[in-house]
Amino acid sequence: MIYNLTDTFFIAQTQNANLVAGITLCTPLFSMMIALGDMFGLGGSSAISRLLGKKKYQLAGRVNSFCFYGALLLGIIVMICLFVFKKQGLGLLGVTPSTYQYANIFYEIMAVASILIIISLVPINTLRTEGLATQSMIGTATGTVLKIFLDPLFIFGFHLGAAGAALATVVGYIVTDTILIGYTVKRARYLHVYIRQMRIPLAEIKDVLMIGLPASMTNFMTMLGTALMNNFLIVYGANKVAGFGIAIKVETIVIMVLVGFCFGSQALIGYNYGARNRQRLKKIIQFDLLVNVVFAFIIALGLMAIAPGLCSLFMKNQSVVSSASYMLRWFLITTPFIGAVMVFTTMFQSVNQPLEAFIMSISRQGVVFAAVIFIMAATMGYQGVIVSQPVADVITAVIGIALYYRDFGPKGKIIENW
């Protein structure tokens, strides 16, 4: 979240709406890379936590190595594809002639960074399965803090503009990956990255991918949702896209904290599911829901109250600030529903329910959002575009509640199987 937030903040200090819009249009690239990394990171951590619950320690280590080298290979393929299909990629992102020069250079450097970003998601997630959450945080935070210092140096000191923001990301991820891999090698008891032990049974590969693919869909849908919103807003001008870029970054502050609570519970849910500790499992899920929904409500109220002042920290252009604060307040209205959606999504990933996890992953910013934004934009114009995400949030939360009671209710299929 801070990687994207600092990019937007420092780029916005140039007061160039086209530059901010160019970076905003490329934001889905970052979501795509996170999604691809999550396929092995979240899929691997879910499988590993269940294996640790079953005391299959050696196999858990081999699964980690498989995920690490799988992510490495995937990162290389993604980098090549991004360069080969650059023209088509920029077109799908909604890049216009006025934003092309800024988006193009940011796109190219982020394509190179794809290997570093995708790899990082494996140790970030799997270290937590051994209780090394602090070490995972240190690796991530160190690269982020470095980027915060490098962004203004590269953007303003070296006058690199969009290229400076992207280069700072590359350096930050080099540091993050080095630290995380070091912790895996030196501190983990069961996890390792031995290339000779990366071969695992087909059943375990299926286990990783059956959870990893639905898990990655959440960020793929974030990419789709952002790209859709950008394409609908660009017809109203670069100022509206720049305003959306600011609003979505501020909203992400809340969402990423909610994600943190959900990820924190994943290892606990997976472990207790693997150990068949029904009572403790249900208590963890209920506590996770309570924390996410209540926290989202409180923090959303605070941010809505200071929305104009918060958005003006990024740019002085009153048109952009007005658009950003208006969008932000609408987006924040339904954050408690987003909190519930995230709990249900990560819970289904952890208890090895790939169909339910897939449905939740493709709904909020994917299938449901796409349907809503086309309908709302056609009937309400600009206002319909803005309110489409809150409407999709409510619908997806209702879907999550229905799936939860089908599986964990008094006559739920998981309860009956136990």
Q: At residue 254, does pLDDT exceed 70?
A: yes
Predicted local confidence at residue 392, as pLDDT: 96
**Containing H/E element for 42?**
helix 27-53
Domain that holds residue 67: 2-417
How many structural domains does the chain have? Answer: 1
Closest CA to 116 of 147, 155, 91, 148: 147
Per-residue b or e along 182-202, where b marks 16 or more CB atoms closer than 10 Å to that residue's CB: ebbeeebebbbbeeeebebee
Q: At residue 415, does pLDDT exceed 80?
A: no
* Average pLDDT for 2-19: 80
DSSP single-letter state for residue 197: G
Torsion of CA 201, 198, 69, 256, to 10 degrees: 70
Tokens of residue 413, six digits: 């299929």
What percentage of the chain reaches a pLDDT higher than 90?
Answer: 60
Nearest-angstrom CA–CA distance, 351 and 211: 9
Decide if 53 contacts 269 (C-beta within 8 A): no
Nearest-angstrom CA–CA distance, 381 and 217: 28
Q: At residue 211, does pLDDT exceed 90?
A: no
Nearest-angstrom CA–CA distance, 52 and 74: 26
Q: HSE of 415 in the Cβ direction (CA atoms, 13 Å)?
A: 11
Phi, psi torsion values for 193, nearest 5 degrees = -130, 45
Q: At residue 127, does pLDDT exceed 90?
A: yes
Q: At residue 267, does pLDDT exceed 80?
A: no
Phi, psi torsion values for 264, nearest 5 degrees = -65, -30
* Average pLDDT for 188-202: 95
Angle between the N-to-C axes of helices 335-350 and 354-362, in degrees from 0 to 180, rounded to the nearest 10: 150
Predicted local confidence at residue 416, as pLDDT: 59
**Cβ partners under 8 Å of residue 355, min gap 6:** none
Predicted local confidence at residue 278, as pLDDT: 81
| Tens-place pLDDT, residues 392-405 | 999 999 999 999 88
Q: At residue 146, does pLDDT exceed 70?
A: yes
Nearest-angstrom CA–CA distance, 238 and 352: 43
Phi, psi torsion values for 96, nearest 5 degrees = -110, 170
